[in-house]
Structure 1
Amino acid sequence: MAHLLGQREIRSISRRFRLQALRCTPVSSLYRKNAVIQIQTNLGTFALKPYNRNPHLRSGLAAQIKSAAKNVRLLMNNAYGFIPDWLPADSGKLWVMHRGKPFYMTAWIHGRPMGMEQDYEQLGLALAKLHTLRCGLPHTPQSATLEQVRLWKAKDHDLRKNMVRASSVNPALRRAVRQYGTAWKRFSDEAWSEIRHPDISRLCAQEKASPALIHGDITPPNVIIANDERLHIIDWDFIRVGSTYADTAKTIMNTTGFHTAFMEAFLRGYEGIRPLSLPERRLVKALYGLPREAWYAVRFPKSKRSTEMLKTMDQTWTLRRQSMEYMNSWANP
């Protein structure tokens, strides 16, 4: 973890990136204390970050950092302008190992969070450019979307199986199950039914021949509007070949706060680069409606984060329903 590093260790790691650390400040993220270290150096301000393994993938830490660094290098070599460059270490790699943990460094982006419609339009444009970047990726044996759906169906199954038991240990979850449990199951049923449509089945079959990179974890803290008003996406630990439709749906859910004006701006920016067919729109809409927070809360009923997520769900339920109505009208014009 970044906060366990001493000043001497930070200076040692910085030298491996050919930098002289002058001042170090730990910075916390939304869910992780001291997630990144801001380092003032002889050549400017940089971010030193421990690489975090994606727990949803079967591969180990070493394989994941190699894959992530390879994909980040593809973005940099193809002039993708929405990522702060990863600095090469003295070994030529984009990371170093320290005490068995990979660390990487990027430029520190000074700026502000998103807050205006043009910010969300710029985010949509940035994500579409990522999804349409063709850089010689090999064909995949399976549809990335259907693979993601398989994983999400397993979580939906767990919710239905464990909802009552889990609610017995968390009063907030018990109240949410009484109030929203039927809706959670209906949202999932509607999504699975939509995904079985022949048009979407054909779409997923075609996906194998056109693999694309996804970010996998776009949340408000991972998007910065720099002082020059350019948008930057950070924290590319989970970059991989994956479902662009799931990546799009998750990004809308995670960043727009269910505000339809922001959703409309995001989709305007996205489709300005990558226009979506009606089956593609219906697929994004279906994935958007899945109750992913409920899945997490049922799986980890004693987690403080689960209680916070359920509180947010209760506070935004009306907005959520309105956002789903907007997505339905967008997918079925």
Structure 2
Amino acid sequence: MRIVKLKKENFLEFMEGISTISELIAPIRNGDKVSFQPVKDFNKIDLNATRTILPPKKFFVPSSFAMFRISNQTYEPDFSHIKNRILFGIHPCDIHGLLVLDRLFMQELQDPYYTKARISTLIIGVSCMPDDYCMAKSMGTHVVEEGFDLFLNDLGSFYLVFIGSSKGDDLIRLKTGLFEETITGEDIQKYVEWQTKRDASYKNGINFIAMPRLMELKYRDAFWDKLDLACLSCGSCSMVCPTCNCYNVVDRKEPGESPVERVRHWDSCTLHDYSLVAGGENFRKSRKNRLKLFYTHKLEAYAGKYGKPGCVGCGRCIVTCPVGINVKSVAQALEGNEIKEFWNIANLEVLK
């Protein structure tokens, strides 16, 4: 992997340069919220954002899109939602989230829509410091070695830039005069010190190694009944999760000669109708059974198949769930701890 330096005084010129070849998406702040948006003003890019509301998966698996149209025995696939893009400001945990989706959508049965979007998108990662909700270190996702074209490590007055692909190298060559090839011993020491500082800053995490067996041992534990009472089945945890990938498809047709359009949209295994089948049977009527499925995916099943957790430790479920059900609190409950957030909700008379 080739490594170069970019002084911060040259950062905006580099961004302006790469924006001429593709649509540039970056974290943009609006009040106290940050989201990935097309860049219209380079000065509004938030380089210090901890997390965006939604992960970058929305650019690869949109919340809703037309897959194809059928009319008079003609079949027309629709890839119109896919653009050539550069996604800037992706944190290591979110890059790991994309690597999870890569395995699901590009390995055994290749999803043509995800694959085309992935190929059409360049990833520029950026280093970050954790806040009180980040759990990336305990998940092993605070460091990333693949899945990006460029990765910028913020070392104060300059970025140490890791070039992860030939496409990333092409981006460097657009403005090659802005980069320095020589990496000094002092630069390396700054990088080591920054890594040490970042690792020591993590305040949150779970004992992931213990989770797969605990999920099996406590699959029928009483704490799931408490979650059953507390969960609102709103699906927010799935919507904000970088690795959740459930979807549904519906066929739409307007009256007359208009074609049939098949639309794919996000769904969630935590929603009541997800397991509803013909005849009105629902295999997971209870909230606790849906939550068991969700957390089995995050803490056991994916690890068993791929050797890595289905959770990347981004902390979005922690800041999103209104009743405190999240990977952290469920992991603590599996370890035998009583968690005040959803225990208090479950003890309310109105929910009994």
**Bigger strand share:** 2
TM-score normalized with structure 1 length:
0.29
**Bigger helix share:** 1
TM-score normalized with structure 2 length:
0.28
Instruction: Decide which structure has the larger Cα Rg and report it.
Output: 2
